[in-house]
């Protein structure tokens, strides 16, 4: 029974970290596209993308600490 709990905890942590990594990559890609379309708004886009990445990384910490 303990092995099953360890496996499910590892799967939960892995999926949470994968989701966080995927969302950070998606945010970075979209921010790069947005700056390419409108270079004048680069500072505003940078601030919003950093906030979005920080919130996405919180998912990884929650999945690791709560799993």
Above 90 in pLDDT, residue 4?
no
Q: CATH number, domain at 45?
A: 1.20.20.10
Secondary structure of residue 3 in the 3-state scheme: helix
Above 70 in pLDDT, residue 67?
no
Convert 29-57 to b/e letters by CB count within 10 Å (16 or more is b): eebeebbeeeeeeeeebeeebeebbeebe
| pTM: predicted TM-score of the whole model, two decimal places | 0.80
Per-residue confidence band for 10, with pLDDT thresholds at 50, 70 and 90: confident
Domain count, the chain: 1
Query: What is the residue range of 31's domain?
Result: 2-66
Q: Give dist(CA 67, CA 47) in Å, integer.
A: 31
pLDDT tens per residue, range 11-54: 888 888 999 999 999 999 999 999 999 999 999 999 999 999 99
């Amino acid at each position: 029974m303990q092995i099953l709990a360890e496996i499910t905890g590892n799967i939960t942590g892995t999926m949470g970290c994968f989701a966080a990594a995927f969302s950070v990559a998606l945010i970075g890609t979209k921010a790069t596209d947005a700056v390419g379309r409108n270079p004048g708004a680069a500072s505003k886009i940078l601030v919003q993308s950093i906030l979005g990445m920080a919130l996405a990384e919180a998912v990884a910490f929650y999945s690791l600490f709560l799993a």
